[in-house]
Amino acid sequence: MAKVEFLKCVRCGQTYSIDDVEYYCPRCGPEGTLDVMYDYSRIKQLFTKESLKTKDEYSLWRYIDLLPIERKPELLNMQVGWTPLYKAKRLEQALGLDFVYIKDDGRNPTASFKDRASAIGVAKAIELDKKIMCAASTGNAASSLSGFAACAGIPSYIFVPATAPTAKITQLLIYGANVILVDGTYDEAFEVCLQASEEFGWYNRSCAVNPYLVEGKKTVAFELMEQLNWEVPDWVVMSVGDGCCISGAWKGFTEMHELGLIDKLPKMLGVQAAMSNPVNRAFRENKNSFDYVKPETLADSISVGIPRNGLKALRALRESSGDVVDVLDIEILEAMKQMARLTGVFGEPAGVTGLAGLRKMVKENRIQQNEKVVLVVTGNGLKDIKSAMSAVNTPITIQPSLEDLKKYLI
Ligand SMILES: *Cc1c(COP(=O)(O)O)cnc(C)c1O
Ligand SMILES: [Zn+2]
């Protein structure tokens, strides 16, 4: 018996059987992203603290009972998820907070949080016998899909802005994806990819189009709760572009709540770049629509003018009594240094944007000293060394002699 009961539109609430709809709500169009709903009363018997304790699978597949995949595909054996959680003592001291944890999702196979979704997307493609996959991406979703598709032997077509960081484009090329650089923004790349996917029947990896992908992202919440021994944090902090990551994590928390595994829920804190902040503006104005601005931020992964999963993100922020802040690029670069120097975790700009937002929240007294905070670092710093280099000083050069070294030291 299939685990997924039905799909439900985030916009109009209409439900659909999994056999009737592949991507988004036919009534609402692409804004009507769908939620994957399970038979929770049945899963409640399987998905318990005790049953989890007996599992020796340390990856996202540990949570297969609550994933829309019947079984872990044999071919797809990359280690995804179950990333480390660190207590960040020195960062706590710097921020004046008692509890700060770092979840380092840059430790995934292609070095970003996106791997959680790609694993499910490719597994679903295998299940549905899809021959070709495609993705539009600011960079990481693409590099991630190309890695997982390569592992499974499925060809992929990738649409990225020509301005994506070189490391991310390199990943695509080395994994052998069909790379199409779009002379335009991510928002434009997204549209071309959606059209191509409909025209040629390619299986779309976008988390905002394909309802199953966010299911992979929710596993971060399951891991967090197991790693924190089921003690729910007060805040979970993530950067927001399209809004798939934060809404995915929120779904994980609400499902654990529904299953009786946790008795309270965290507040979600979304952090956006100031020049790419449509979700924050909609949240502040209490609206359910988004005004486009041409995004401008060095945090390429959250450089999004039209948030494709904005409604789900707003729902996560509102339902959780959470909050959103936005930060300047210079604050993101500061956070990158602070994170690296106080925790040893090197995140890409969007990966450390959460820390920049946390700093702001603490400064403005919107987060209190004794509140427990988890920061999710969504991508590895080596993916964008150009931005990292702009945050630091150039090193000195010496002649290879002790004499010369001494000149520098005094
Ligand atoms: C994609 C991405 C985000 C933002 O996720 P959304 O789902 O677009 O909000 C944040 N950080 C990194 C590193 C990403 O790759
Ligand atoms: Zn709808």
* Ligand 1 binding pocket includes 116 (Cβ within 6 Å): no
* Ligand 1 binding pocket includes 114 (Cβ within 6 Å): yes
Cβ neighbours for 274, distance < 8 A, ≥ 6 positions apart: 297, 326, 327, 328, 329
User: Measured from the CA of 308, which atom of ligand 1 is nearest?
Assistant: 8
Q: What is the pLDDT of residues 278-299, one digit of tens each?
A: 999 999 999 999 998 899 999 9
Assess if residue 228 is contained within a domain: yes
**How far apart are the CA of 99 and the centre of ligand 1, in A?**
24
- What's the 3-state SS for 327-363? ECHHHHHHHHHHHHHHHCCCECHHHHHHHHHHHHHHH
Provide the pairing of β-strand 133-136 with 156-161.
parallel
pLDDT reported for residue 121 = 97
Assess if residue 290 is contained within a domain: yes
Q: What is the pLDDT of residues 24-59, one digit of tens each?
A: 999 999 899 999 999 999 999 999 999 999 999 999
Residue 204 to residue 320: CA distance in whole angstroms:
29
- Over the range 356-365, which residues count as b (16 or more CB within 10 Å of their CB) and which as e? bbbbbbbeee
User: Measured from the CA of 304, which atom of ligand 1 is nearest?
Assistant: 8
Residue 172 to residue 166: CA distance in whole angstroms:
10
Q: How many domains does the chain have?
A: 1
| CATH number of the CATH domain containing 287 | 3.40.50.1100
Average pLDDT of span 234-247: 97
Amino acid at 250: W
Rg (CA), the chain: 21
* Ligand 1 binding pocket includes 240 (Cβ within 6 Å): yes
Contact 350, 105 (CB under 8 A): no
Assess if residue 370 is contained within a domain: yes
Q: What is the pLDDT of residues 105-138, one digit of tens each?
A: 999 999 999 999 999 999 999 999 999 999 998 8
Residue 281 to residue 296: CA distance in whole angstroms:
15
* Ligand 1 binding pocket includes 347 (Cβ within 6 Å): no
pLDDT of residue 182 exceeding 80: yes
For the chain, the average pLDDT equals 96
pLDDT of residue 2 exceeding 80: no
- Our measurement of the distance from residue 368's CA atom to the centroid of its chain's CA atoms, rounded to an integer in Å, reads 26
Query: Would you tell me the crossing angle of helices 140-152 and 115-128 to the nearest 10 degrees?
Result: 40
pTM for this prediction: 0.96
* Ligand 1 binding pocket includes 301 (Cβ within 6 Å): yes
Assess if residue 307 is contained within a domain: yes
Average pLDDT of span 81-89: 98
Q: What is the pLDDT of residues 265-274, one digit of tens each?
A: 999 999 999 9
End-to-end Cα, the chain, rounded Å: 73
* Ligand 1 binding pocket includes 361 (Cβ within 6 Å): no
Residue 195 to residue 350: CA distance in whole angstroms:
28
Which domain covers residue 303, as residue numbers?
85-111+213-390
By the 10 Å C-beta count (0-12 exposed, 13-18 middle, 19+ buried), 229 is classed as exposed
Assess if residue 1 is contained within a domain: no
Atom 1 in ligand 1: which residue has the minimum CA distance? 301
**How far apart are the CA of 214 and the centre of ligand 2, in A?**
18
pLDDT reported for residue 207 = 86
Assess if residue 304 is contained within a domain: yes
Assess if residue 21 is contained within a domain: no
Q: Dig out the tokens for 297 from the structure.
A: 């931020």
User: Measured from the CA of 207, which atom of ligand 1 is nearest?
Assistant: 7
pLDDT reported for residue 1 = 53
Ligand nearest to the Cα of 9, by number: 2
Atom 13 in ligand 1: which residue has the minimum CA distance? 379
Assess if residue 159 is contained within a domain: no
**How far apart are the CA of 302 and the centre of ligand 1, in A?**
6
pLDDT of residue 319 exceeding 80: yes
Beta bridge partners of 165: none
Average pLDDT of span 301-325: 96
Atom 14 in ligand 1: which residue has the minimum CA distance? 301
